[in-house]
Structure 1
Amino acid sequence: MDAVHEVMHLFRAMQYRVLRETPHELSHMEFKVLAYFARHPGATLSDLVLHASRDKAQIARLIAGLRTKALLEAEADPKDRRTSRVRVTAAGARVHALLEAQSHALAVRAVAGLDDAEARRLLALLDRVRRNLLDAG
């Protein structure tokens, strides 16, 4: 299983490098927050806290940082002015699309040389490992 850890570490290190090379120099968690709001426009901080199982203060700091970088914007919920709805800005959407494309390219590069059957088999085996870990609690 050392090979799984090594591949995971190498893949993640390459992802982090891509994040650092953007004009906004995003952290891994900043990208995760940006991606969440790209997939869930108008969601709230509380929605993300529930989804990510992270500390509310940590998520609030990440959102504030992304707002400072003009990648996210927030507006008061018309039904409850105490709640803010968060959306990705046009600049945030561009950064998100670029990083998603680079992440996809990295994934394609990772399985280069595997034929379709080998790639499907690898995904099936990794899914089995994932399910085993989830079942273990």
Structure 2
Amino acid sequence: MSETTVGESLHQLMHAYKRALRRAYADAGLDLTVSHIRTLKAIRGQMPCTAQDVAHRTQRDKAQITRLLRDLRDADIVVKAPHPEDRRSQMLSLTGHGRDLLARIDACEREAHEQLSSGMTQTDLAAFLRLSRLMIANLR
């Protein structure tokens, strides 16, 4: 198998998966961008946290994260509170609406994952994960 074939297969897989996710999000009436969703997941994963924590976790610059957080605060998905130890920072956490939204996002992703892995055994999935992690590590 040539490198072009591997690269093209990965490219097609990535885009097919992204289409499946966008379709599931649209079917569920979710109109958030992937960047908003990644930001929400980063907050959930380390809540409460600062914008700097989110930027580090998502590997985005703080200015991008600040814009995304403004959108999420305006939509009552994320709330800021004073940092107990650093007056220059704000602590971020999800509102009840934000937690509900993430539950809907998780359901959409489970749907896309089920579609993606249809007809595959646990052995197939384990092999895919092992190989994809190795490829990612090789490119770092």
CA-to-aligned-CA distance 1:24-62 (integer Å, 9 cap, x gap): 510000001011112221110011112222111000000
Structure 1 residue aligned with 2:131: 128
Corresponding letter in the other structure for 1:92: G
Structure 1 residue aligned with 2:32: 26
Structure 2 residue aligned with 1:119: 122
Corresponding letter in the other structure for 1:76: P
Q: 1:10 aligns with which of 11, 16, 20?
A: 16
- Return the alpha-carbon distance in structure 1 between the equivalents of residues 118 and 85 of structure 2: 50
The TM-score normalised by the length of structure 1 is 0.86
- Return the alpha-carbon distance in structure 1 between the equivalents of residues 81 and 29 of structure 2: 25
Where do 5+ consecutive residues of structure 2 fail to align?
A: 1-5
1:1-137 aligned within 5 A: 1=6, 2-21=8-27, 23=29, 25-114=31-120, 118-137=121-140
Corresponding letter in the other structure for 2:133: R
Corresponding letter in the other structure for 2:25: L
Where do 5+ consecutive residues of structure 1 fail to align?
A: none
4-13 or 92-101, which moves further after superposition? Answer: 4-13
Contact 1:111 1:119 in 2 (8 A): no
Local SS of the residue matching 1:78:
coil
1:23, distance to aligned residue in structure 2 (A): 4.7
Contact 1:76 1:83 in 2 (8 A): yes
Q: Tell me the percent identity.
A: 23
- Return the alpha-carbon distance in structure 2 between the equivalents of residues 31 and 14 of structure 1: 15
66-75 or 121-130, which moves further after superposition? Answer: 121-130
- Return the alpha-carbon distance in structure 2 between the equivalents of residues 3 and 119 of structure 1: 21
- Return the alpha-carbon distance in structure 2 between the equivalents of residues 112 and 22 of structure 1: 21
Contact 2:28 2:104 in 1 (8 A): no
Structure 1 residue aligned with 2:3: none
CA RMSD of aligned residues (A): 1.8
1:81/1:23 Cα in 2 relative to 1: closer, same or farther (>3 Å)? farther
Task: Provide the aligned length of Structure 1 versus Structure 2.
Answer: 134
